[in-house]
Amino acid sequence: KQEVTQIPAALSVPEGENLVLNCSFTDSAIYNLQWFRQDPGKGLTSLLLIQSSQREQTSGRLNASLDKSSGRSTLYIAASQPGDSATYLCAVPHGSGNTGKLIFGQGTTLQVKP
């Protein structure tokens, strides 16, 4: 059974700091991995999708890496800003795929202080 864990559950940093959010999964046979952002009271915004054949993806100040063999992904945020404050979720498709079911981690709630 696939389980996704995110550490830490919460993080508070001063503005400008670089930071890393961690995501681990128990079954390494994943098809892809997605990182999402959720603002309070709102839906999810997709940040990055990494295919299983890729090792990393970059979008602006965000860089996500994937190490399937160790069951880990990290989301690196450079030069954090107060606007980055949100909950960050990682998710993988259930089983070998061919299903809409994403397994989500519990999320890391980030607060960036001005």
Partner 1 sequence: GAGVSQSPSNKVTEKGKDVELRCDPISGHTALYWYRQRLGQGLEFLIYFQGNSAPDKSGLPSDRFSAERTGESVSTLTIQRTQQEDSAVYLCASSTTSWADTQYFGPGTRLTVL
Chain residues that interact with partner 1, rule: CB under 8 A: 31-32, 34, 36, 42-46, 49, 89, 91, 93-94, 97-107
- The CA distance from 62 to 42, in Å, is 21
Distance in Å, CB of 113 to partner 1, minimum: 24
Instruction: List Cβ neighbours of 108 (8 Å cut-off, separation of 6 or more).
Output: 6, 7, 8, 9, 10, 11, 21, 22, 87, 88
CA distance 16 to 83: 11
Choose between 61 and 101: whose C-beta lies nearer to partner 1: 101
- Closest approach, Cβ 34 to partner 1, in A, equals 7
Token output for 90: 């990682």
Nearest distance from residue 103's CB to partner 1, in Å?
8
